[in-house]
Amino acid sequence: MTVYKGYLRIIKRNMNLILMYLGIFMAITVMFQTFAEEGNYGNFQAESVKVAVVDEDGGAFSSAFQDYLRQFHEVKKMKKDKALMQEELFYRNTEYIVRIPADFFDACVKGGEKLQITNVPGSYTAFYVDQQINSFLYMAGVYDAAGLTEEEMIQALGDLEPARVELTDGSGTAGEMPAYGWFFRYIPYLFLSVFCYVMGNVLSAFHKGDLPKRMQASAVSQRRQSMEGLLAAATIGAGLWGIVILAAFLLYGKRMTGSPGLAFYLLNSLAMLLVSLAVSYLVGMVVGGKNMQNKLNGIVNVLTLGMCFLCGTFVPLDVMSKSVKTVAQFLPVYWYELVNEYLVEYDGMAGSMRGQILEGIGIQLVFAAALICVVLALAKWKKGRV
């Protein structure tokens, strides 16, 4: 295990550099996560609109209609005064004004006449009120066709209740992405950046001058040298993974430990770790010669930022176009982010979801294995070029 020990000694000598990179990229990750979390709005929110009613009818049916609206919105009465109406809308004292015509029942239920509406231009909440008014008038039409008297109809409409929706909230985050979900989402960026820089610097020590020649002329096979190098990379990877996960536990504490999907979060990050290590080893083998640091910076930035933008680390997968997703499927980070999204959305691990999560993790492992094969092939190819 001489080669392995040599790697570890060189890694030890580069420890300050490693901790510096870890610190920088950890800070960037937490910063990204904080900004993203601040912009995260709830997925489900009841909307209560300030509705004003100009009641020209004043009858029992008109009164029932206003009671119906009061279940959802703040309803107040308003005089029929065009200037007043404009002023109220301008100052947003009201967002939606509905005029109930005289002879409301005959005109609107029997005659199918539409209610006169005035609202704030571009207001999306008006759409909800429109739907609720249409629903009320439609039900009134149904009851009328069924032969109910006006009193019976008012009674029946009064009994109408808003639909009840029950949401399962397995993660206990009320539909929001948990903070640790954001942290895990940015892990590919952290792993790829740190490992590429660390392994790039460490491997460059082995590529300097005539060192590859001396190594190849030695009694240790090229295959064994590569395997011991990969093992050393795995050791440093395990160490860095431990630090990152420990940081997550310290940052998110019980919120994270209480998550039923914790084991899968960890498993997914481990798969990503293997991919990152293989990518970084490959980068380290390619980068060398003069201006090594500049070349490394260029490759790492293109690789990490490119993959992270394409695969849903910086931009959520659900806002990406189909063609981008099709391309991203050929990159391992996509599968990591997909699994992370499943875990965030369906923390409970239903049977079929578990299968999809394991499939995503499996695909990452296949990517890692393929990259390791490329590393070994490249090492063999380089051997013939000295």
Partner 1 sequence: MIQIENLVKRYGNLVALDHLNLQIQEGEVFGLLGPNGSGKTTAINCMLALLKYDRGSIRILGEEMTPDNYRVKQQIGIVLQNVAVFDELTVYENIDYFCGLYVREKEKRKQLVEEAVQFVGLEEFVKTRPGKLSGGLLRRLNIACGIAHKPKIIILDEPTVAVDPQSRNRILEGIQELNRQGSTIIYTSHYMEEVEQICTRIAILDHGRSIAVGTKEELKNMIKTGETVTIEGVLLTPEQILSVRELPHVFSVEYEEQILTVRCTKAEHNLIRLLHYLQEQEIPFGRVFSELPTLNDVFLEITGTKLRD
- Is 290 a binder of partner 1 (CB under 8 A)? no
- Is 14 a binder of partner 1 (CB under 8 A)? yes
- Is 10 a binder of partner 1 (CB under 8 A)? yes
- Is 5 a binder of partner 1 (CB under 8 A)? yes
- Is 218 a binder of partner 1 (CB under 8 A)? yes
Which burial class, exposed, middle or buried, applies to 124 when counting CB atoms under 10 A from its CB (0-12, 13-18, 19+)? Answer: exposed
Residues facing residue 98 across a β-bridge: 53, 117
Q: Which long-range contacts (CB under 8 A, 24 or more apart) does 19-23 make?
A: 21/193, 21/194, 21/197, 21/198, 22/194, 22/240, 22/243
> Stretches 209-217, 251-259, 305-313, 360-368: which one binds partner 1 (CB under 8 A)?
209-217
State which of residues 26, 28, 215, 376 lies at the interface with partner 1 (CB under 8 A).
Answer: 215
Nearest approach, Cβ of residue 216 and partner 1 (Å):
6
What are the strands of the beta sheet with 74-77, ordered from one edge? 74-77, 50-55, 96-100, 116-119
- Is 39 a binder of partner 1 (CB under 8 A)? no
Q: Which is nearer to partner 1, 216 or 297 (CB)?
A: 216
Instruction: Report the site for partner 1 in 221-250 (rule: CB under 8 A).
Output: 221-222
Q: Which is nearer to partner 1, 66 or 222 (CB)?
A: 222
- Residue 32 neighbours by CB under 8 Å, 6+ apart: 182, 186, 189, 314
- 62 vs 74: CA distance, rounded Å: 16
- Residue 280 neighbours by CB under 8 Å, 6+ apart: 192, 195, 196, 198, 199, 200, 233
Q: Which is nearer to partner 1, 2 or 40 (CB)?
A: 2
- Is 20 a binder of partner 1 (CB under 8 A)? no
Q: Which is nearer to partner 1, 160 or 211 (CB)?
A: 211
Binding residues for partner 1, per CB under 8 A? Answer: 2-3, 5-6, 9-10, 13-14, 205, 208-211, 213-222, 383-384, 386
